[in-house]
A and B are shown apart, each in its own frame.
Chain A
């Protein structure tokens, strides 16, 4: 079992964001375990909890791949992927 990571995508809402991101994740054999989204003032935030497989590549590589995929579709969005440990460390005693 590979690492669990948190993918955050933020930006102007438009059709196809989830599709673009999940296509990249699927192509890298990354499993989506949970998706949350919120929508405020035309800004769309999506958070995906994902599970890397051994052959998925590094976090940085996947982050770059998602950024490239969004850029190809003319989507100007903030993307970051972080290891889940960051959030567990900061927000749990």
Chain B
């Protein structure tokens, strides 16, 4: 790697033995005590060649192709874990947005095209047979994920940032039933881009769909909503769920890795108690470098062992419900009494920016979202701040302007109006569009629960408290129809 002769390297390490040993122990502490791990190895697979007029044939081809590429994914991940001693927490698959595969189906072909333009009543337009086809495909994907022992399969998705097509409407309309009947299928809908503006028809529809998913999964704390993200500026190579899909322009297959280490970062920051911002930022950068290098190593090794091209490393800091694995914890170590109070947005901006600077040096291809995640239910510090009433949706919205994801894993009252949900999506979407970044919304209206109620999903999805949403109506705004035009700065030619 350095181009040195083996003997030279050996000699220099004898003379710098103390530093070498300290580095080894540092790595050991990061892994054993601070939770350094590879959060996910995600294999992206193109299913464009699975398009067929027969629903059975689509599903057969999907099964064949996914199994062919991903058959050894779990086993190779385990072997890398064994050889490098780095835990690899999740194995996942991301596929071509499924809506792109539906066009040849007779049920979709038969949809009356002229009705698609203008304001929509999606209940009338889409035949049950087309929706059943989507549900069947989702069920097949769910079964494949279970057979291959992957945690989630992402890409049950539609890209509607400029407008709907028949296929995307079919998929969207099928979401409530799909989220109810499958376990491991993750969905996403892209409703806007900086280049195209925001499809407000889609925003209105998605508010209703999220409400319907919440109702359909009400028996399980409306958990269906935790597997759907509404994006603007969605990226093609995000390895994290629920928003992962294998975008157009990606190769037949590739390996994308998401590292993580909020615990490692928090530990590093905790040793910078009384230093100035320059030193603090440097410490974050250097730690991000080390964390990202782990991801790069694992990605290269996975690519080699699976014989699949290396895609990207996503260097996002992604929290888990483990107590030390909290992004809020990092912000609080920086000097905030509690996340959500004044200073939070600035601290998060510093963190996200320094993570990027350090991580970019560490990897040949950085991609995905690459910043800091702030999913409320997956971060014990965020949950605590929400319970205390210090962290609010409004503050989270501000934070999303400087971090990488969006309003993520936020529980809201079950009686929140669909149009209000749409309003939140619209707000978050415009932050992404105006700032040329990706933003996403993963809201969970918990049916039957109100502000202050606790909801627990267990596992990686964590637990949290229902957060208040202002009850003023935006129905008139949301119902106008059409698109919000692209911002002036998108005209770059």
Contact = CB atoms under 8 A, between A and B. Distances in A.
Contacts of A54: none
Given A8-B24, A47-B21, A90-B27, A82 B84 contact: yes
B82 A90 contact: no
Given A36-B21, A58-B83, A60-B83, A90 B28 contact: no
B85 interface: yes
Interface string B66-86: 000000000000000011111
Contacts of B1: 88, 92
Nearest to A45: B25
Contacts of A93: 361
Given A8-B28, A45-B25, A81-B85, A89 B13 contact: no
A83 B27 contact: no
A80 B25 CA distance: 11
B25 A86 contact: no
B293 interface: yes
Contacts of A10: 28
Given A8-B28, A60-B83, A86 B17 contact: no
Nearest to B81: A60
Contact of A89 (B14, B85, B294): B294
A86 B86 contact: yes
A10 B24 CA distance: 12
A68 interface: no
A7 to B, nearest CB: 10
B84 A87 contact: no
B296 interface: yes
B7 to A, nearest CB: 11
Q: Which bracket fits the contact residues of B?
A: 20 to 34
B24 A6 contact: yes
B294 A82 contact: no
Contacts of A49: 13
B20 interface: yes
Given A34-B14, A58-B82, A80-B85, A85 B297 contact: yes
A91 interface: yes
B471 interface: no
Contacts of B20: 36
A80 B32 CA distance: 10
A20 interface: no
B2 interface: yes
B384 interface: no
A73 interface: no
Given A8-B28, A81-B85, A86-B84, A36 B297 contact: no
Contacts of A86: 27, 84-86, 294, 297
B362 to A, nearest CB: 8
A58 B350 CA distance: 42
Contact of A90 (B13, B23, B25): B23
B297 to A, nearest CB: 4
A85 B293 CA distance: 10
A85 B17 contact: no
A27 interface: no
Contact of B27 (A38, A45, A78, A87): A87
Contacts of B297: 85-86, 89
Nearest to A82: B85
B492 interface: no
Contact of B82 (A34, A60, A85): A60
B290 interface: yes
Contact of B21 (A38, A80, A88): A38
A8 B29 CA distance: 12
A56 to B, nearest CB: 13
Nearest to B18: A36
B10 interface: yes
A91 B21 contact: no
A47 B27 CA distance: 13
Interface string A44-81: 01010100000000111000000000000000001011
Interface of A: 6, 8, 10, 33-34, 36, 38, 45, 47, 49, 58-60, 78, 80-83, 85-93
Given A85-B84, A87-B27, A89-B293, 5 more contacts: A36-B20, A45-B25, A49-B13, A58-B83, A83-B83
21 contacts: A8-B28, A33-B10, A34-B10, A34-B13, A34-B17, A36-B17, A36-B20, A38-B21, A49-B13, A59-B82, A82-B27, A82-B83, A82-B84, A85-B84, A86-B84, A86-B294, A89-B297, A90-B294, A91-B27, A91-B290, A93-B361
